[in-house]
Structure 1
Amino acid sequence: MSKSHTIEKKAIPEQKGGNRFTVSDALDSIKINKFTWSIFFLVGLSMMFDGYDYMIVSYTMPQIAQEWGLDSVAKGSLSSWSMVGLVVGSFLAGPLSDTFGRKKIITLSVFFYGLMTIPVFFAPNFTFFAVMRVIAGVGLGVCTPIVTTLFAEFTPTRYRSFFVTFGMAWMIVGWVVAGVVGTAVVQVASWHWCYLIGGLPAIFAFFLWKFLPESPHWCANKGKTAQAVEVLKLIERRAGRKIDCVLEAGNIIIPPKPKTAGPRAVLSPKYIKITIGFWIVYFAGNFAIYGVNAWLPSLMLERGYEVTSAYALAIAQNAAAVIANCITGVMAEKIGRRRNLLVGFAASLVSIVLAAQVAGAYALVLGVMIFLGFALNYMITAQQPLMAEAYPTEFRNTGVGLTVAVGRIGGIIAPVVLGALLSLNLGYANTFMFLLIPIAIGMLAALLLIKKETKGKTIDDLNEE
């Protein structure tokens, strides 16, 4: 990008409605509108189905283990198989969507994981179940990073953090739906039916393809300025508001492209420190969250709770996560992304100690589980805006995808590790206290390695940093 473009970019505020503009200028000029909310629901539903597909394993785990006679380690691995695919998919998500576009890849991923979940309905044994969960997991892994990126790229600067974090709440909604469906189905029918329901995203993918436009940031970054203008005009029509720019292809300022792209850029000297920080933080968060989610229903059953009471505790802590996702987005805009992340880690440390020690009245246990779900998800969701904002458009989704992939490894091993600890008869309290280790390490990484603050900066400003 030439110097003249940079100068023109800085002159934009004095020329609103004039010739030169960035995609961020166009989106910021119409603020939050009907189109923004349509993206929130459309892309969010993709995340909800994703969340359901993963979490339904936790609510069918006791029945599957009983039917196939699985020990604690094999039982814990039921939640890990889809995570293996998730890691593979997350690695693929960035390069694919940065190259071929957000719309194509997210639509294919939703269709794929929905279609590949249906065969689990017919699963005759553990091996078949494991193989199909790995395959479906690839689609799940591709979906998640693109959702984060789409929320960041379609939202006005002032509200970006809120929509990225609030949008991730859709995954938690999927967890809650899985809990409700799982609780109802396993009491009246076979657990297999839960996975037939999990095939619905294959149908939803057609609606996604029809109504989701391509990211105008991606179009502009690829030099497809005519397509970017068409998308902005579509946004203008759906928003019911006039974009305060002259929407012509020649007027779009294309952000300067980085010297390298892809995984090499993410691991370049400029980004290596924050990338490693993201990886450690996301690994720690996923280890804690997926470890708790995989085992909490079973642990509550083993402590003597009835199915409905045990599952209600798990559903409650997931429902609290939805509230956490909303609040963390607001707080990130008020106190900054980095400080918000540290608050999440501090709350998580407290919640783990309380969850490990709580006993007695059901209402007390319920209250602690609600706080646990709130704190853990506040912690991991607080990282979402930082991930989406730390890298330029050229390799934004590669950076997000790699972070999600590494984090998912924590999600893979956590259920197995906790299962192994339980098999050693360490007990409920000691198993929970073990989770303090990854959370403490994650907090140190956030404190020492993640120094960047992105609050209030446009996508195009961040591209030039």
Structure 2
Amino acid sequence: MAGSVNAAGRLDRLPMGSFQWRILTLVGLGMFFDGFDNQMAAGVLGALVKEGWSTIEMNAHYISITFAGLAVGALMTGLLGDRYGRRFAYQFNLMIFGTMCLFSMFAPSMTWLTALRFVMGIGIGAEYVVGYGMVSEFVPPQRRGWALGLISVVSMASTFCVNFIGLFVIPAFGWRPMYLIGGLGALWVWFLRRKLPESPRWLESRGRNEEAERVMLEIEAEASKGGPLPPVTALAASAPVWVPISVLFSRGVISRTLLAMAVCITCLVGSYSFSYWVPTFFVKQGMSVTKSLGFATVMALGSSLGPLVGMLTSDWIGRRRGTLLAAIWCGVFALAYSQQTDPTWVLVFGFFLQGGMSLMIGFGLGGYTPELFPTEYRFRGSGIAQMTGRIAVIASPYLVVSLYESYGLPSVLYAISSLYFLLALGVFFFGIETNQRSLESIAPERASEAAPASRSAESAA
């Protein structure tokens, strides 16, 4: 059996049990503190402007350098995860952003805080690739959309939590304790995740069948405690190969790569152009830091409820259709928000806009993107797509500042709305449905440009 483990067929027929819940819990905790450390910038930057420690232009540099780190982290973990394994990738990133977060608490100047943020961003950017990729490989197709949605719920809940905590901590104690909370949380999860198993799918794709069989037997032994296991579904076996990164731009794959890039660019530029800047814009319009954080906290509650909708509907409507509908939702509510001046309606439309944006991240970036690529290059495909999105976000703060200072806040919302509507068109014409299907059945035909998986680790990624 060690020579033909059929990890995909054996994993896909397992019922949801303690093993899958452990994976979801530990991945979810990592995603939560990843989101916490990432989203704390919104409240922190508003406070730094109010204190005179920073300016809106320096904040733009901080946000851009954050996404430079996120881009490097997404690409790095894609290369490392496909080459050295999922387990290797999901541990190094937590150590990086947890440690750098603690160091940031002692930053003596905005220059130091920005430099530390770049390194922190490398670890933060890696977690999105690792978290969603890991869950997609361990959870059966019948529950994969729900599981990816649950991870998105946990991740996006951090947006509300960091705003809620910041509402009390920042006015009373300043911004530095926020980095202490985020750093300690990340390192705690790093300790808990030490014993997570390697992905049997990845092990088999690399020709490490004995290790894959050993992990599968452990998983099945735990799953069988709940009763007899369903019969194994026989999936077409293929010889383990190592494919170079150029496969992402080969015939049959490039359309998926470009679609994944478009999804990530829209999700990230749209979401961060709004959520990162809202507290700062409120402060610039004369609000106190406390009131601006209060407004941001109420709107951020939508970021927690949006993915909940995705979790409950993803396996019903599918990731392609869900991504399409979420993009249209965001485009409509961005336009509606741009016309609001009454504080009550600003909160209402901001709530639904942030809910739609987080729903879009759950459906598109989290659920749809990793499903588009097969095991052999899933992390590299997701990593390249997310790297492209992060690079786009590097430039976006300068565009946001330029539009805001020249034409006011509505112009920023018009640009965001246009981005979502364009993505909706792209998904409608070029998207494929992945719902209720094995990852192996979704995969494009194997590219001819491939090498045996036994090729030495020093081969080019």
TM-score relative to the length of structure 2: 0.88
1:138 aligns with 2:122: yes
2:417 corresponding residue in structure 1: 436
Distance 1:20 1:244 in 2: 19
- Per-residue CA distance 1:255-307 (angstroms, 9 max, x = gap): 42587624211111111112112212211221110011111112233444444
Farther-moved stretch of structure 1 (381-390 vs 49-58) = 381-390
Distance 1:246 1:433 in 2: 53
User: What is the deviation of 1:242?
Assistant: 5.2
RMSD (CA atoms): 2.5
User: What is the deviation of 1:21?
Assistant: 6.4
- Per-residue CA distance 1:66-95 (angstroms, 9 max, x = gap): 445543222233222221100011111111
2:91 to 107, 128, 153: 107
Distance 2:275 2:107 in 1: 23
Distance 1:461 1:257 in 2: 16
1:206 corresponding residue in structure 2: 191
Q: 1:423 to 1:359 in 2, by over 3 A?
A: closer
1:244 aligns with 2:213: no
Q: In the alignment, residue 453 of structure 1 is paired with which amino acid?
A: E
Distance 2:328 2:443 in 1: 31
Q: Within 5 A, what are the aligned runs for 1:353-372?
A: 353-362=335-344, 364-372=345-353
User: What is the deviation of 1:131?
Assistant: 0.9
2:370 corresponding residue in structure 1: 388
Distance 1:226 1:21 in 2: 8
Farther-moved stretch of structure 1 (92-101 vs 372-381) = 372-381
1:315 corresponding residue in structure 2: 297
Q: 1:231 to 1:245 in 2, by over 3 A?
A: farther
Q: 1:124 to 1:235 in 2, by over 3 A?
A: same
Q: Within 5 A, what are the aligned runs for 1:65-464?
A: 65-200=49-184, 201-210=186-195, 212-239=196-223, 240-241=225-226, 244=229, 255-257=237-239, 261-362=243-344, 364-383=345-364, 384-424=366-406, 426-450=407-431, 452-463=432-443
The 8 Å contact of residues 161 and 333 in structure 1, kept in 2 or not, is answered as yes
The 8 Å contact of residues 371 and 442 in structure 2, kept in 1 or not, is answered as yes
Distance 1:241 1:114 in 2: 37
Farther-moved stretch of structure 1 (212-221 vs 298-307) = 298-307
Distance 1:243 1:369 in 2: 49
Q: In the alignment, residue 437 of structure 2 is paired with which amino acid?
A: K
Q: 1:352 to 1:36 in 2, by over 3 A?
A: same
User: What is the deviation of 1:186?
Assistant: 1.2
User: Which ranges in structure 1 are unaligned for 5 or more consecutive residues?
Assistant: 6-18
User: What is the deviation of 1:25?
Assistant: 2.7
SS of match in other structure, 1:434: helix
2:36 to 39, 42, 52: 52
The 8 Å contact of residues 72 and 423 in structure 1, kept in 2 or not, is answered as no
Farther-moved stretch of structure 1 (58-67 vs 367-376) = 58-67
- Per-residue CA distance 1:95-127 (angstroms, 9 max, x = gap): 101111111211111011101111111111121
Distance 1:310 1:170 in 2: 24
Distance 1:365 1:448 in 2: 34
Write out the 4+ residue segments of structure 1 that deviate beyond 6 Å after TM superposition: 251-254
Q: 1:334 to 1:299 in 2, by over 3 A?
A: same
The 8 Å contact of residues 29 and 243 in structure 1, kept in 2 or not, is answered as no
The 8 Å contact of residues 54 and 79 in structure 1, kept in 2 or not, is answered as no
SS of match in other structure, 1:122: coil
- Per-residue CA distance 1:151-170 (angstroms, 9 max, x = gap): 10110110111211221222
2:448 corresponding residue in structure 1: none
1:43 to 5, 16, 27: 27
Q: In the alignment, residue 171 of structure 1 is paired with which amino acid?
A: S
1:22 corresponding residue in structure 2: 6
2:453 corresponding residue in structure 1: none
Distance 1:40 1:262 in 2: 30
Distance 2:398 2:237 in 1: 45
Identity, % of aligned pairs?
Answer: 24
Farther-moved stretch of structure 1 (392-401 vs 255-264) = 255-264
Q: In the alignment, residue 394 of structure 2 is paired with which amino acid?
A: I
User: What is the deviation of 1:41?
Assistant: 1.2
User: Which ranges in structure 2 are unaligned for 5 or more consecutive residues?
Assistant: 446-461
